[in-house]
Structure 1
């Protein structure tokens, strides 16, 4: 009988000791377990919204090509996908590991984000960045998107005068503050150099410029439009006297209006971008305009992203140097080949040759 009782007690004691051992190992020798702090932080975005995001961002997305380009310049390995389809020509200047990311779409020009595919790549945060100033509509869109997909959406103001703050906030969120500072320095130095060089050009010596958009060259942007900002900043005289369209822009004009404005310089998209540069050079309708007669029709460089506009992102800082040197070569002197190579290395993470840079500038400089 005694042996029988011991045989029952012994396994029960072993089970009890095992349970205690596990309990103490989990509770730190009998102390109350501490709940780890959640790995999140709350930031205030540029719309004044309080947004709770993970402290460490592994992947992020963006609602427009403007945001995509900014994230690409800052932290390309954190990109969750592409908001715009890239052509083979554009892909030449971007490493393949980024061009092969899934196309997820964006909200620009009444577009849509593929929320089903977005959920699969699981971004930690989404940046809402548009061409115009932040307003009630953009804030409402960000709130709705955040509620719809249950991913924090951070609104960023990427305007020229606030690029330092935009990069600083995004750099902090993405954990790349040093890179953000490097890019900010380039942008602010560019604005300072170009505006200092061109600010004192007398009105009578400012270039009269027409920005020809579209396949016929008969849509444009007036002074004050976000899509013509580069021209305004170099003190070019934008001849288009039309009302600006918000958002996507592209105000319609007539051939008669362009003839009456008679610009000395025409900026246009190339044929591969659906532009009118070839048409303008050869058409009977355009031949009597000063810019055509004097051969001052310049194709805006556009690979991998347009230097002047569309999308109006940080690519415009290189465009600022290019346009100042093109319109006012006696006032603003810069080795554009070297400048292109520097910019592509710094912002696009690719090293290009002198010949590549010259090809990008073909038909684009004096």
Structure 2
């Protein structure tokens, strides 16, 4: 009887050992099974929206060129496509692996995103970044797009006052925190440097400037417009006394108005951008204006992205340096060729030569 009990006990012990070995293979004997790691995270965007996104973002897209340029500067290898079509001249300043990405469209200027093509490239998130302040309309548009394509849409405020917060959040999402810090430092230092140099210029010595947009030069932006912010920040006197327009801007003016404003400097788009700089220099209608008589008509450099505006993204930080040096060379003294090379390397991931920088500035500087 005792021998039989010992046999039963031995059998039970052997069974327990086998069972433990089986459990060990799956969970570890005597250890609590670990919960699967989370694959998503919840972030709060600049509109206060709670958005669930993947823990690791491999690709992203953007609703406008403003966002595209920011992502390009921060994490170009995570771009899913282009939200603006690039010209051959613009492509010269962007490595081909990025300039050859598919054009997928955007929501700027009543445009559309090619949702069918977007689905094929499978971005993990979409950044919604516009020129105007975040409002109910922009939030509603983000919600609608997110529901339509079932991809998280993150609203970002990229204004000059919020650029550090914007880059910080985007850097966290894209796994590019260190690059974000580098870009933030450049942006903050540039604003401090330029505004410190120009803030004490007396009103009577501020240069009277007209921003000529369009093929005839008869659309413009008044002071306070997001599209004329660079001019405001360097303390140029924007002569345009017109009503500001939201969105893409471009307020119409008459030749008579421009003649009455009589600016000392005109900044304009070049012919490659369908601008009016050549017309302004040669037309009899403009010849009596001070800026024309003194030859102070400056084309805004625009390759790969306009330094002053359109799109109003981080390209404007180089525009701050360029315009301050152009309007006030006596108080803001920089080697602009050196500054251009540094910016293109840091933000556009391309090293250009002195000759390249001078070519960009050919009709744009004194």
TM-score range, shorter chain: over 0.9
The answer as to 2:203 corresponding to 1:203 is: yes
**In structure 2, how many angstroms separate the alpha carbons of the residues matched to 1:102 and 1:229?**
31
Matched, 1:125 2:125: yes
| Worse-matched range after superposition: 305-314 or 39-48 | 39-48
Q: Which residue of 2 aligns with 1:95?
A: 95
Render the CA deviation track for 1:104-138: whole Å, top value 9, x for unaligned.
Answer: 11000010001111111111111000001000000
Cα deviation for residue 256 of structure 1 reads 0.4
Deviation at 1:34, TM superposition (A): 3.9
Task: Return the alpha-carbon distance in structure 1 between the equivalents of residues 21 and 91 of structure 2.
Answer: 59
SS at match of 2:41: strand
Question: What is the aligned partner in structure 1 of residue 70 from structure 2?
Answer: 70
TM-aligned CA deviation for residue 337 of structure 1: 0.3
Counterpart for residue 11 of structure 2: none
Q: Counterpart of 2:200 in 1: which secondary structure?
A: coil
Find the residue that maps to 1:210 and give its secondary structure: strand
Q: For residues 269-290 of structure 1, what are the alpha-carbon distances to aligned partners after superposition, in whole Å with 9 as ceiling and x for unaligned? A: 0000000000000000000000
1:227, distance to aligned residue in structure 2 (A): 0.1
Which residue in the other structure is 1:7 paired with?
Answer: none
> Which residue number in structure 1 is paired with residue 345 of structure 2?
345
Counterpart CA distance in 2 for 1:92 and 1:19 is 67
Q: How does 1:148-167 map to 2 (within 5 A)?
A: 148-167=148-167
Q: Which runs of 5+ in 2 are unaligned?
A: 1-17
Q: CA 1:171/1:291 → structure 2, altered by over 3 Å: closer, same or farther?
A: same
Q: Deviations over 1:292-327 (max 9, x none)?
A: 000000000000000000000000000000000000
State the TM-score, normalized to the length of structure 1: 0.93
What SS does structure 2 have at the residue aligned with 1:41? strand
Determine the structure 1 residue equivalent to 2:179: 179
8 Å CA contact 2:325, 2:332 repeated in 1:
yes
2:45–2:154: 8 Å Cα contact kept in structure 1?
yes
Give the superposition deviation at 1:332.
Answer: 0.3
Report the TM-score when normalising by structure 2. Answer: 0.93
Paired position in structure 2 for 1:145: 145
Structure 1 segment 1-366 matched on structure 2, within 5 A: 25-28=25-28, 33-366=33-366
Q: SS at the partner of 1:133?
A: coil
**Structure-2 separation of matches of 1:205 and 1:300:** 23
> Aligned-pair distance for 1:268?
0.3
Per the alignment, residue 13 of structure 1 pairs with none
The question of whether the paired residues in 1 share the 8 Å contact of 2:20 and 2:29 is answered with no
More moved, 325-334 vs 19-28:
19-28
Superposition misfits of 4+ residues, deviation over 2 angstroms: 18-35
CA apart distance, 1:35? 3.7
Query: How far 1:55 sits from its partner (Å)?
Result: 1.2
Identify the residue that residue 11 of structure 1 maps to in structure 2: none
Residue 42 of structure 1 aligns to a residue whose secondary structure is strand
Q: Secondary structure at the match of 2:211?
A: strand
Indicate the SS of the match to 2:191.
helix
CA distance in 2, matches of 1:273, 1:281: 16
How far does residue 98 in structure 1 lie from its aligned partner after superposition?
Answer: 0.3
CA distance in 1, matches of 2:20, 2:141: 54
Give the distance between the partners of 1:27 and 1:206, measured in 2 at CA. Answer: 74
Residue 335 to residue 40, structure 1, CA distance change in 2 (3 Å): same
- What's the offset of the Cα at 1:37? 2.8
Does the Cα contact within 8 Å between 2:300 and 2:364 map onto a contact in 1?
Answer: yes
How far off is 1:39 after superposition?
1.3
- Give 3-state SS (helix, strand or coil) of 1:211's partner: strand
Q: State how far apart, in whole Å, the 2-side matches of 1:31 and 1:239 are.
A: 75
